[in-house]
Amino acid sequence: MYNKGLYHNWVPKPIQLLLIVLLLAVVMPLGGVYTGNISYVVSGTGAMTEYFMWANYATTIGMGACMPIVMRMKMRFKVRDKMIVLLVLLGLLSYLNATTFNPMIFIFTSLIIGFLKMMVTIELFLPLMVMIGNRGMFYGAFYTFVLVMNQVVAYYAVEVSIQYNWKQFYILISVFCFILALVHWIFMHDKYFALKVPLHYIDWLSILLFISTFMFSAYVFSFGKQQDWLNSKNIINASIGAFVSFASLVLRQLTLKRPYLSFTIFSKNNVQHGLFMLLCLGMFLGTTSIQNTFAVGVLGYDQLTNARLNLLMIPGLVLAGATAIFWFKKEIPLKMFIFSGFSAMMGYVIIMYFSMVLEFSYDGWYLPMFLKGYGMGSLFISVWFYTLDKLELDDMLAAIGLVLVWRTFFAVGLFSALYSWFQYQFQVVAIGDLAVYMDGMTITPQNVAANMKTIQLNAIIAANKKIFGYVILAGFGVLVYIITHHFGREQFTYVRFVRMLSGKSVIARRRLRERKRLIEDIKDAAGPTI
């Protein structure tokens, strides 16, 4: 017997929807580390921050590595058996993080958590997509919920760490996973989704090469500044390892009868432009590290106040989701929706550029964070939809792992690493520029120590402002690119004009009217039958 749903038939539909929402609320924000309480984990373990940045990237890499095989895993096991085992494993891994002080354990568990939670997520995609019906409207609702939950979980990770300690939050997540496993053991059916398929067709070596490629890259992005980039043998060796692993991965796909990854979709125009737009989105999202430096290092916010800033994005995220649902329901072309998203990110960057002052008030965060929330939500939805639009299911599943890692890890990690390096270089230059005022006429020897802090803060502000300025200049180029891109529409209409003169357009319109009339007749006939 097969059952394409998740729960027993006797479970009411509202209860089924509630259980799916609970699963999404717990599983989607789940990770090996949480950006909100990294500072508390660092102080509790005594390890460097870079290890936990690496672990944060590892969660996304694990999700991308699992994506090409999720459908095969979904059809191999019974739904209830697989879901319960996955939730128990996620709970055990979270508990392991709560009891360890070794940063390499965090990295390993983060990778496995990302791999496992993608198998859980695919079980939730299909019922929700069938329920909503429209893929674009589904993205609007799904991404809005997930992005809002990420901000809420990051905030409560900090609050729980302050009131108790960082371990308690991991234990809390672990308990939630065990409770969900028990609940789903009761309500979830024990049938297969479809025809049972074997697992021996999965090429596990390709998965290992995929993971090694991006884990080496994540090491470079995380430790590049700390080890002075190419002056470090570790960074050079990791870069070589990433290149060799990726080359081996590509060559192996050419020799396999059933390749793990497919590179055919990357020749399509919408995929190429979509990847470029995701890279541009990473350029804007990478400024989060500069924002955190300004909020914590210059304005002196504590971690809870800094986490509360991200909650200010929620109204913008909700507006982006509502706009996306309306946009896709009316089937309006995507160009202006994508343009509004990048415009909102530009507004955020411009406001932050002019806000780099020591007297910046907390009330000044409301507008830029609202714009950032709207920009991030709208671009996650619209660019992702455009990139994967009109792709065959097999090709999409075989390449979506690469696109996911490109969007969430590579683009953001690359620009975060670049901004971190430029921020240090510009800060050194700014201190040199400000040193001209450090003489006996303006600062007496007795006041040097008191003024050193002000000079250091002004140097940080000057460096941040310079980076935001360069992002603004690049952002204007992105807006010009968006407004001139065709987004699948014909750029030239002279062919239609020629057809009109030759009379062919009249025939085409007549055939279109006849086809619409036929479709309506079929619908009218099918209605009573259904």
Predicted local confidence at residue 378, as pLDDT = 93
Predicted local confidence at residue 384, as pLDDT = 87
Kindly state whether residue 250 falls inside one of the protein's structural domains: yes
How many CA atoms, within 13 angstroms, populate the side-chain half-sphere of residue 408? 19
Kindly state whether residue 229 falls inside one of the protein's structural domains: yes
Would you say how long the chain is, in residues?
530
CA 458 – CA 369 distance, rounded (Å): 23
CA 464 – CA 227 distance, rounded (Å): 22
Q: Which residue has the tokens 């430096």?
A: 293
Kindly state whether residue 291 falls inside one of the protein's structural domains: no
Question: What does DSSP assign to residue 231?
Answer: G
Which domain covers residue 254, as residue numbers? 204-259
CA 170 – CA 184 distance, rounded (Å): 21
Domain final residue pick, 242, 259, 276:
259
Counting the structural domains of the chain, the total is 2
Predicted local confidence at residue 333, as pLDDT = 86
Q: How far is CA 114 from CA 33, 94, 495, in A?
A: 11, 12, 50
Predicted local confidence at residue 220, as pLDDT = 93
Q: Are 63 and 404 in contact, with CB atoms under 8 Å apart?
A: yes
Per-residue pLDDT of the chain (530 residues; tens, 9 = 90+): 566 677 888 888 888 888 888 888 888 888 888 887 888 888 888 888 889 999 999 999 998 888 888 878 877 788 888 889 999 999 999 999 999 888 999 999 999 999 998 888 888 877 777 777 777 888 888 889 989 999 999 899 899 888 888 889 999 999 999 999 999 898 887 877 767 777 777 888 989 999 999 999 999 999 988 888 888 899 999 999 999 999 999 999 888 888 888 787 788 888 889 899 999 999 999 999 899 889 988 888 888 888 889 899 999 999 999 999 999 888 888 889 999 999 999 999 999 999 888 888 888 899 999 999 999 999 999 998 888 877 776 667 767 788 888 888 888 889 988 998 898 889 888 888 777 766 655 666 666 666 777 788 888 899 999 999 999 999 999 999 999 988 766 444 444 444 444 455 566 566 666 655 544 443 333 333 33
CB atoms within 10 A of CB 295: 18
Kindly state whether residue 302 falls inside one of the protein's structural domains: no
CA 130 – CA 124 distance, rounded (Å): 10
Domain final residue pick, 243, 259, 275:
259
CA 52 – CA 32 distance, rounded (Å): 9
CA 359 – CA 248 distance, rounded (Å): 53
Among 83, 69, 66, 74, residue whose Cα is nearest residue 195: 74
Domain final residue pick, 222, 242, 259:
259
Partners of residue 7 on adjacent β-strands: 188
Kindly state whether residue 369 falls inside one of the protein's structural domains: no
Specify the pTM: 0.85
**Largest Cα–Cα separation, the chain:** 94
Phi, psi of 101 (to 5 degrees): -120, 5
Predicted local confidence at residue 188, as pLDDT = 85
Predicted local confidence at residue 502, as pLDDT = 47
Helix axes 49-66, 103-132, angle to 10 degrees: 40
CB atoms within 10 A of CB 11: 16
Read off the tokens for 347: 């507004």
Kindly state whether residue 472 falls inside one of the protein's structural domains: no
Among 123, 29, 26, residue whose Cα is nearest residue 73: 123
Classify burial at 416, counting beta carbons within 10 Å of its beta carbon; exposed 0-12, middle 13-18, buried 19 or more.
Answer: buried
Kindly state whether residue 235 falls inside one of the protein's structural domains: yes
SS3 per residue for 292-325: HHHHHHHCCCCHHHHHHHHHCCHHHHHHHHHHHH
Phi, psi of 194 (to 5 degrees): -160, -160
Q: Are 158 and 37 in contact, with CB atoms under 8 Å apart?
A: yes
Read off the tokens for 440: 């006996």
Beta-carbon contacts of 378 under 8 Å, excluding residues fewer than 6 positions away, are: 320, 323, 324, 337, 338, 340, 341, 344
Predicted local confidence at residue 11, as pLDDT = 84
Kindly state whether residue 12 falls inside one of the protein's structural domains: no
Q: Are 136 and 87 in contact, with CB atoms under 8 Å apart?
A: no
Read off the tokens for 396: 């999409």
